[in-house]
Amino acid sequence: MKQFFRLLSVLVLFVALAACSTAGNGYPYPYPDPSSFQYIGRDYTLQTLYADAVLPENAPHIMFDGSELRGKGYCNLYSGPYTGDGAALTPGTIAMTEMACADPTLMLLDTSYFAALNEVTSMTLDGNELTLSNAAGTVVLVYTEK
């Protein structure tokens, strides 16, 4: 009888550990599911922000590294978690530096860039072009791989 309770206790412990170690998508937390791995380790440079071409010398970039996205806006560096499930992309809370650009136009663009990044709910990769869209399906950011 004692052995039965030990075995039952071990079984309950394994089930509890398994439940804690996976995200809702069934993959180990915090990594996105394997269908999102095509984005990982690739560095992308912004081409358009809400369909407007960006200044190439100051163009923001983004990189997906494991379960974290990071990059540089027009003025500030940023990073934060994300989850991905195929085309779905859910950025977590993005942390960024608080550097001011000498050019006020770049500061406004930086604000617009981070606002757009916070809208993103899906991504598609076609060759070396990464497109990020919002929940309404509007393309907000288009990047090309560096």
Measured between alpha carbons, how far is 38 from 17 in angstroms, rounded to an integer?
A: 29
Domain that holds residue 2: 1-29
Measured between alpha carbons, how far is 133 from 142 in angstroms, rounded to an integer?
A: 9
pLDDT tens-digit readout, 58-95 = 899 999 887 788 999 999 999 998 887 767 777 888 99
Do residue 40 and residue 75 come from a single domain?
yes
Do residue 89 and residue 125 come from a single domain?
yes
Do residue 57 and residue 4 come from a single domain?
no
Do residue 54 and residue 18 come from a single domain?
no
- Number of domains the chain is built from: 2
CATH code at 45?
A: 2.40.128.270
pLDDT tens-digit readout, 90-123 = 788 899 999 888 899 999 999 999 999 999 988 8
Predicted TM-score (pTM) above 0.85: no
Token pair belonging to 104: 């006020």
